[in-house]
Every structure is written in structure tokens, then in C-alpha cells.
Chain A
Amino acid sequence: MRVGAAIAGALVLWSASARAEVPPQLGVVVMLKVLTYDHAFADRASGDFVVCVPTSEQHADLSSAYAAIGPVGETLLAGRKVRLVAVPLDGADGLFERKASAVLLLPGLTPKQVERWSKAAERLKVYSLSLVPDDAEERVLLSVEEASGKPRPVVNKKLAAALGASFPPSVLKVARIVQ
């Protein structure tokens, strides 16, 4: 009995001391769900919803995160097949040819890489998403962060306006807004 209580206590302490971050798969699903609230979502494109993910299998962090979000590539988004496409880190110029609907930035990219990809997304008017909350402060449309043990979207309103995206109050109410 005492052993059980000790183990339970240790687990609680352990849990409390744990570092909190949004699991990649959950983070991506939350962001994709938020995108469906964009008033212009249905008008942007048809066919597969292509999410370009800059990554390199030589980079442990990126390849790990990419593997973690893999199951998202087997889902649909408002009836459109979600297709995750791994693209080379230096392939920002190829977004148009890939018919990208969104760019997803994983943890582990350098600031320069984030800037290059977010600018490419802005130029082509495609959604820019990131699993790093700080990226939404300046560079990407949408991210997700942990708040009180739950995921919370982070929306960059300035970039949303630049991309022609707008979200209803019901979504903005549960998100952190970056002006």
C-alpha cells in the first residue's frame, strides 16, 4: 500500500515537473482545423490539400518531427485529401510547382530558414503554419502553443490580412492573437 502511494506520488511529482509542449500531431491537427474556419478556405483551391514540410532526414529534430506528424497525411480536410510533402530545406522556390496549400514549419529550423519559407508562403498567398509558437509572433499565420495544459492556437492577424484570411470570433476567442 505504502509502496503504491509512493509510486503514485512520484508519478504526480514527475508529471508536474515535466516539460510541456504540444505534441506535433495534435498541433498540426489543431492548426488544420482552425484553417477550415477561414472564410476564404473553400475558395482558395480544390484537389488535394498539399502541405509542404521543409525537412531533411539528415537533421534529427526535423526528421523526428516529420515522422511524428505522418498520420496526418492519411486524413481529409473538408473533403480534400491531406498530402504531406517533405521538401528540401532549400526548396522554398518550388512551392508553386508543388501546388502547395500550406507550408508547415517544424521545430529545428534556423531563423533564416523560417524567414525564407514564410516569405515564400506569403508571396504565393498560401497558409503558413508552425509548430513553434514564437514563429507566429512575426513570421507565420498560425501556430499552436500550450496553455494551462491544453493546446491553444496562435493567430497572426497581420499576416492573416496579408493572406486574405479571416477567422470568425468564435475561433479568435479561443486563440492568442498576435497583431
Chain B
Amino acid sequence: MGSPSRWVVFSALGFASLAFSQEPAGGVVAPGADIAALSLDDLLAQPIEVASHRAESAREAAGVVTVLTREEIVASGARDLSDLLWLVPGFTQNLDVENVTGLSVRGVWSYEGKVLLLVDGVDMTDLLYGVNPLGLHYLTSNIERLEIIRGPGSAIHGGNAGMAVISIITRGAKEVHGAEVEARYGQLSGTSSDRTIGLNLGHTFDVPGQLAVSVSGYLGQGNRSDGTYTSSAGDAWALSNGGAATNPMLLNVGVTWRGLKARLVVDNYTLTTIDGLGELATATRDGATVPAPATMSFRATAGDVRYTFQLGDAVTLEPRLYASLQRPWFTPDPTSSLYYDKHALRSGASVTATWAALPGLHLLAGVDAHRDDAWLSQPALAGFGANPDFAALNPTDPSRATLSSLSAFGQLQADTPVANFTLGGRAETHSVAGESLVPRLAATRRFDRFTAKLLFSGAYRAPSFENFNSAPGGVLKPEELWVGEAELGFQATDWAFVSANVYGLRVDDPILYTVNPGTGAEGYVNAGHVGSRGVEAEARLQGALGFLRLGYSFAQASPDTDVSAYLLADTKARLRGMPGHKLNLLGHLALPKGYGLNATAWLVSDRTALGSSLADEVFPTALIINANARWDAAETSPVRGLAVTLGVNNVFDQPLPWLQPYDGGHPPIPGRGRDIFFRLGYALPL
């Protein structure tokens, strides 16, 4: 691991950030240039390549990819990212603690440190624990497109991308051309499910270089459930009285001018939690300790600035500066049993180069360096609630800690008559965790209507601050992931595409969270092996009448999984809280005069996890069906730009509780029941 020779090899290969959404290298004309001013002779003298290093479609990308377009997002009636992720094969969602939910991928709990979430290329992952909370967090009002790698992305994107990469592309100046506003209200039987308002602004200023500015944002309130939570102590709490709120607030500003791109994302996601670590959260009121929902927020101000230099026809160079200031899990009440107040700051820089070396041969190479700092916001309150200091990382000044990382990545893509081959990898040296090296190999072949992919990737996850902080002696190794995938796609007709893939994955030394529900003491350890294998399939039909998208996934635990926190007594076929099968559907029927009928559904097969009785229970198969009707005003209508949606989520009020996927002693939080929602959107061209 990390021997000098391997470093040299991978540095020489260079890296390739070959994400499928990236713009092509070797652009023909610079942004803002006037084509009329170009020389026709020069244009006609351009040598032609087999295939430029270009944006790749999901069909061609060297990965197992799901893309949800704006059209699909709008039709789905989804209010947020969580709703959309139910429509992705292999993805389910589970409960961590404190009303925080996250993602499981391919039958393995992945929320903590294994899924990278990007908003317009900006990493939103929590620096202290490495998590991405879901549940009315990222609203659909400003999402233009969702691109998901259902598999490892570490070779390109670094740590925290072991199981999946979720890339949110928001609506920018290209899409908005003015102003858009969207208001939404949803009502459960006992309380509102969500009431939100979003605004998107975008304009391209006609100045040399074409200055494009976009601003989008939203705020709102929501509730995860209106059911009754029964704590690990047997106490009941009606969530319609609070205790499971999910309140989003986000501002996203983007500027592009010539090759310059700048982005700022300010996120303030606030929750209330009565569920704590399983028992009811408490606080001191009038001198007495009483059950009381705690208010907790995930705050992040993150952004980057990058400039793409076009060096000749075949080379680009992109330096990038980025930073993220965070205050995750911020629970301000010092009397709360969940009190927590720490800051974290990441500052870093990267340089990525691309080179279209020969027809069909493309290289990418880059380096990235960043430093993470974390500190107690209130050093005098260290030790209150769940607010231990950083002594395990920095005994000399336990009020703060620093981690740093230097990595190099490279990728070579070669299009040959036999197949398109991708060879890449990433090497990283971490100030505490040491060195990691992960390869990426892919072969894709397109023949007639078929596409075949063979993929093998390594991935890793460097421990985060709190991982180290709560590990015995502060010692923790990076966990390593190994994934093999094979996919076959078939464009049956112009309107039908189907794909299916098989996979096997293994995580060595997974970083496992343990918590003592009684004391709240956390711990992190490297624990054996966990893995899964399975099948995923997607079918997409598109015609004049509308579209239909179907997905299926099956995941089975690997027999050599030996992490006791994930294992169940009654079956070894699946892990705690995980379904074996999942089906998902998204359909849209286009009707005349701007009307449309839409439906989404997901079926989650039975799962086993801790129940309210503090014994393992089997939670039966649940089928969640959502439907909505939408009307878009015609372009010739006096109310052009208006869109109205009326819908029902969970039409049959089926229970799909939030289950904890490890033995953390946390009973389930009831799922969202039936809710009726209304959405009003208006687009005003400027």
C-alpha cells in the first residue's frame, strides 16, 4: 500500500475526473466568442478525433449510472432529494439517531462516510462525522438534474464516495432566464408534512464573455411523521406535537464568465428531535429534567472558484480553490442531553488537467490538497451532553484538531475498435490515517443497440474527526471497498431502453459506529468485513403519450459478513434494516392542453430491525404509491408560466417506518403517512 513505485505509476497516469456531466475538453470556441470572427479555413483545418473527451451519457459512462431529468423530477411530485432517491434502484433509507435519516446502498448502510453528495460540484458532506442527512433537506424546486453513480467514485472524487456519488445540478441561468417561484403545502392527518417556498433567478448579461448569474434558494418547514414514537424506555410521544421537524433553508449562488466558475452554497438544515439516541431527549426546564425535543441544525457555507484554461486545442487546465465552513449536529441548548457545538473548516485547492492526446486517447491528471480544522465552539462547555473534546486527536489542545490530505488522481481513457477502456486510480496520503491507493478499471463496448460494461473499482474512506475522536486510542484505519460490476443495456426501440447489472461488493475494516443508549457514549472501530451482491435493472419507455420508468433491485448479504452490529439472528440473507427486494416506478401520462397525470411507487420488501419492544421484529413489505395531476399553462395562455400540481403521497397510508440498520438500541420512527399536497409554480421570463 502506497509504495513509491505505485505512486509514480499512478501519478504518471494522471487523473481523470471523467464524471459524466463534465464539459468536453478541447472546446472549439471559448465562451463569449463570436463564431463569425473565426476563420472558416482554420475551422476546416481542425483534425477530427474518433471521439472527443466529452460529456458522456449514462449509457456510455464507465459506471452504473442513474440520471433523473427535470421533466422526471417535476412529474414525480417529489418534494425533496429523499423522495427522488426512493426511485433509484438499490437505494433505500434508514434511521441513524436524533431524527436523522440517510442512505443505504445495495443492502449496506452507507450514510456515514460512504456516499458523496455534491451540489453543483460542491461537497456538502459533514466534516465531523462524514454524513449526509436526508428528509426535506434538498428540495426539488431548484434541481435541474440528478446524476447518480450507483457504485464507487473514490478514484475520481476521493474519500466518502465509496458506495455512491449523488450529484445535484441546480437550475442556472441557462435554464431559468428570469425568475421562477414555487410554493408547496402538504398536509398529513395530524400536522403539515411540508410548507415550503423556493425562488430561482437566472440571467445572462450580454457583455463580452457572457456573464451568467444564478441565484436559487428555498426555506420551509416540514415533519417527518405524524405518528407516535415509542422510545427505548417505552415512553410514547405524538410526533404531531413536534419532535420530528425537518426544516430546510438554502441559498445557492453561481457565476460564470468566460472560463471562470464560482459557486457559493449556504445550507441551514434544522431538525427537532425527541428520539435522541433512542430514549426521549430531555432538557432542563424550571430546574427539572423533562422530555423535550431538541433543536439541531446542520449548517454549512461552502463554495469554490475554478477557471478553465484552454491551452491549444487539446489541453485544458483547471485550478480550483474550495472551502467549507460547517457547524453540523449543532444542538445549542447546553441543558439538552444532546448538546453539541463544534465547528469544522475545510480549505483546499486542486488542479486538474485534461489532454486529448490522440484520436480516441484522453488523459486526465490532477492533484488535490486540503486541510480540515475542527474546534469546540464553546470550549468552556466541553463534556456537556454529547460534546466531548478532541483530546484523542490533539491531547495538547483538546479544544481543536487538524487533519490534512494530499492526493493525486489519474485516468486514461482509450476508445478502441474492441472497446473503450478506462484505467485510473487515486493515491492519497492522510495526516492520521496514512496512505490509500485505489484503482479503477472499466471496459465499455457499444455495438448496435447494445451497451456492455465491465467495471472494477476500489474505494476508501478516510476516518473523519469524530471517527478518530471516538476510536479507542484515536486509532482507526481507512476502510477499503472493492466492487465488481457488469452491466448490459439494450436500446430496444427509439422509445425503450432497458439495462441490468450484477454486482458484488466487499468492505474491509468498515468504520462502525457504536453507541451506548444508556450513557450516550459513542465509539468507532474497524470491524471485520461487510459485503453484498445483487442485481439491479431499469427500464425506460418514452413516447408521445408520456414516459414510464421502472426499476428493480435485489441485494443479498455476503456470507462472509462478520460485523455483528449488522447481522440478524434469523437470517443471513440480508442485513439489519435492509430489504431483499425493491421495486420502483415513475410514470407520466401527457394529456391535451397541458394536463398530465403522474405516479410514483416503491415497494420495499420485508425488513428486520429493532422494534419498539426492543426486540428484533419483521416489518412487512410496504408499497408506497404517490399520484398527482399537473397543469402547465400553454405558451400562448395569458397565464403562461403557471403550473399547478395537486397530489397525494402514500395514497394507501402504508407504514414504512425508519429503521436503524445497526444495533444502536434505537426504536423505529414511524414513516410518513398519507399526505395531500398542492404545489404552485410560476416562471417569469425577464
Chain A interface residues (CB < 8 Å from chain B): 11, 14-15, 17-26, 29-30, 32-34, 36-37, 56-61, 63-64, 67-68, 70-79, 81-82, 90, 94, 97, 110, 146, 149-153, 171, 174
Q: Which residues of B contact A (CB under 8 A)?
A: 21, 23-24, 27-29, 31-36, 38, 40-41, 43-52, 54-60, 67, 69, 71-72, 174, 204, 206, 210, 212, 358-361, 414-417, 491, 494-495, 497, 540, 542, 544, 547, 635-636
23 A-B pairs whose Cβ atoms sit less than 8 Å apart in the complex: A15-B50, A15-B361, A19-B50, A19-B417, A25-B29, A26-B43, A26-B46, A33-B43, A36-B36, A57-B69, A60-B491, A64-B59, A68-B55, A71-B28, A71-B31, A74-B210, A75-B33, A76-B36, A78-B34, A78-B36, A81-B206, A149-B48, A152-B44
Q: List 10 extra interface pairs beyond A14-B414, A23-B49, CB under 8 A.
A: A14-B358, A26-B28, A33-B40, A60-B491, A68-B52, A68-B54, A71-B28, A75-B33, A78-B35, A149-B48
A71 touches B361 (CB 8 A): no
- Which residues on the A side are within 8 Å of B21 (C-beta)? 67
Determine which of B29, B48, B49, B57 lies in contact with A63 in the assembled complex, contact meaning CB atoms within 8 Å: B57
**Using Cβ atoms and an 8 Å threshold, which residues of chain A touch B57?**
60-61, 63-64, 67
Q: How long is the Cα–Cα vector from A71 to B547 in the complex, in angstroms?
A: 28
CA distance A76 to B45 in the complex (A): 21
- CB-defined contacts of B33 to chain A, threshold 8 Å: 75-76
Determine if A64 and B56 form an interchain contact, defined as CB atoms under 8 angstroms apart. Answer: yes
Once bound together, how far apart are the Cα atoms of A18 and B497, in whole Å?
27
Closest-CB distance, B496 to chain A (whole angstroms): 10
**Once the chains are docked, how many angstroms separate the CA of A70 from the CA of B54?**
11
Known A-B contacts A68-B52, A75-B32; A18 and B415 likewise in contact (beta carbons under 8 Å): yes
Cα A90 to Cα B543 in complex, Å, equals 9
Quick check: B359 and A76 within 8 Å, CB to CB?
Answer: no
A34 to B43, CA, bound (A): 10
Residues of A within 8 A of B72 (CB): 57
**A74-B35 in contact (CB<8A):** no
Q: Across the interface, which residues of B come within 8 angstroms of A64, CB to CB?
A: 54-57, 59-60
Quick one: given A68-B52, A76-B33, are A151 and B360 in contact (CB under 8 Å)?
Answer: no
- Does B635 lie within 8 Å of A94, measured CB to CB? yes
- A19-B50, A150-B47 given as contacts; is B28 within 8 A of A29 (CB)? yes
- Nearest to B357 among chain A residues (CB) is A11
Q: A36-B36, A61-B57, A75-B33 are in contact. Are A150 and B27 (CB under 8 A)?
A: no
Closest residue on chain A to residue B72 by CB atoms: A57
Query: Does B52 lie within 8 Å of A23, measured CB to CB?
Result: yes
Task: Specify which chain B residues have a CB less than 8 angstroms from the CB of A68 in the assembled complex.
Answer: 24, 52, 54-55
Cα-based distance from A15 to B210 in the complex (angstroms): 37
Please, which residues of chain B bring their CB within 8 A of the CB of A60? 57-60, 491, 497
Cross-chain contact B491 with A151 (CB below 8 angstroms) = no
Contact A76 B35 (CB under 8 A): yes
Contact residues in B for A94 (Cβ distance below 8 Å): 635
Interface pair B35/A36, CB less than 8 Å apart: yes
**3 A-B pairs with the lowest CB-CB distances in the bound complex, closest first:** A64-B57, A58-B542, A67-B55
Q: Residues of A contacting B28 with CB < 8 Å?
A: 23, 25-26, 29, 71
Which residue of the partner chain B has the closest CB to A34? B40
Instruction: Give the CA-CA distance A11 to B363 in the complex, in Å.
Output: 14
Partner of B23, one of A71, A77, A81, A97: A71
Q: How far is the CA of A151 from the CA of B48 in the complex (A)?
A: 7
Complex alpha-carbon distance, A11 and B416, angstroms: 10
Specify the chain B residue showing the minimal Cβ separation from A112: B494
Contact (Cβ within 8 A) A30 B44? yes
Contact B360 A21, beta carbon cutoff 8 Å: no
In the bound assembly, the distance between CA atoms of A78 and B29 in angstroms comes to 14
B497 lies within 8 A of A25 (CB): no
- A79, B34: Cβ atoms closer than 8 Å: yes
A77 to B32 CA separation, bound complex (whole angstroms): 10
Cβ distance B613 to chain A, nearest Cβ, rounded Å: 47
Residues of A within 8 A of B212 (CB): 74
Q: For B27, give its contact among A25, A79, A152, A153 (CB under 8 Å).
A: A25
- Report if A30-B43 is in contact (Cβ < 8 Å); known contacts: A71-B24, A73-B174: yes
- Inter-chain contacts of A29 with B (CB < 8 A): 28-29, 35, 38, 43
Are B36 and A33 in touch, CB under 8 angstroms? yes
The answer on a CB contact under 8 Å between B635 and A97 is yes
Is there an interface contact between B40 and A171, defined as CB atoms closer than 8 Å? yes
Q: Closest approach, in angstroms, between the C-beta of A85 and any C-beta of chain B? A: 10
Given contacts A33-B40, A60-B497, A63-B57, contact A22 B31 (CB under 8 A): no
Residue of B nearest to A23 (CB): B52
Smallest beta-carbon distance B145→chain A, Å:
8
Closest beta carbon of chain B to A137's beta carbon, Å: 20
Shortest CB distance B447–A (Å): 12
Chain B, residue nearest A24 (CB): B54
Q: Which of B46, B51, B358 contacts A11 (CB 8 A)?
A: B358
Given contacts A36-B35, A68-B52, contact A58 B44 (CB under 8 A): no
If A26-B46, A77-B35, A174-B44 touch, does A72 touch B29 (CB 8 Å cutoff)?
A: yes
Chain A contacts for B416, CB-based, 8 A: 14, 17
Q: Whole-angstrom distance between the alpha carbons of A68 and B59 in the complex? A: 14
Q: What's the minimum C-beta distance from B355 to chain A, rounded to whole angstroms?
A: 13
Give bound CA distance, A32 to B34, whole Å: 10
With most chain A CB atoms within 10 A of its CB, the pick from B21, B46, B47, B56 is: B46
Give the complex CA separation of A168 and B206 in angstroms: 31
Residue pair A18, B34 in contact (C-beta under 8 Å) = no
Minimal beta-carbon separation of B428 from chain A (angstroms):
28
